[in-house]
């Protein structure tokens, strides 16, 4: 599990995937999100700009990101 510590109020989903090393670029993040391969708190998410807050959990390709 990857952990992202927030310095701001939120982080966007695409940024979180990049920060955790799950994707290499914003374009790749956009692609995997738009294909419905990412879930946030157990719900499929197709918006790259989805705001993630403390306590949110992101799942992609067998990996997990926890926002703290």
pLDDT band at 58 (very low <50, low <70, confident <90, very high): very high
What digits encode the pLDDT tens for the residues 6-56? 999 999 999 999 999 999 999 999 999 999 999 999 999 999 999 999 999
DSSP letters, 24-68, are SSHHHHHHHHHTT-EEETTEE---TT-EE-TT-EEEETTEEEEE-
What pLDDT shows up at residue 57? 98
Query: Which is nearest to 30 in space by CA: 10, 47, 50, 52?
Result: 47
What pLDDT shows up at residue 27? 96
Q: Any idea what the CATH number is for the domain that residue 29 is in?
A: 3.10.290.10
21 lies in which domain range?
A: 2-67
What pLDDT shows up at residue 34? 97
Number of domains in the chain: 1
Q: Is 57 left (phi over 0), alpha (psi -120 to 50) or beta?
A: beta
What pLDDT shows up at residue 47? 96
Say if CB 9 and CB 53 are below 8 A apart.
yes
């Amino acid at each position: 599990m990857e952990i992202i510590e927030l310095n701001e109020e939120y982080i966007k989903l695409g940024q979180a995937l990049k920060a955790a090393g799950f994707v290499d670029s914003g374009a790749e993040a956009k692609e995997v999100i738009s294909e419905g391969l990412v879930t946030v708190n157990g719900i499929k998410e197709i918006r790259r700009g989805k705001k993630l807050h403390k306590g949110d959990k992101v799942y992609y390709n067998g990996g997990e990101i926890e926002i703290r």
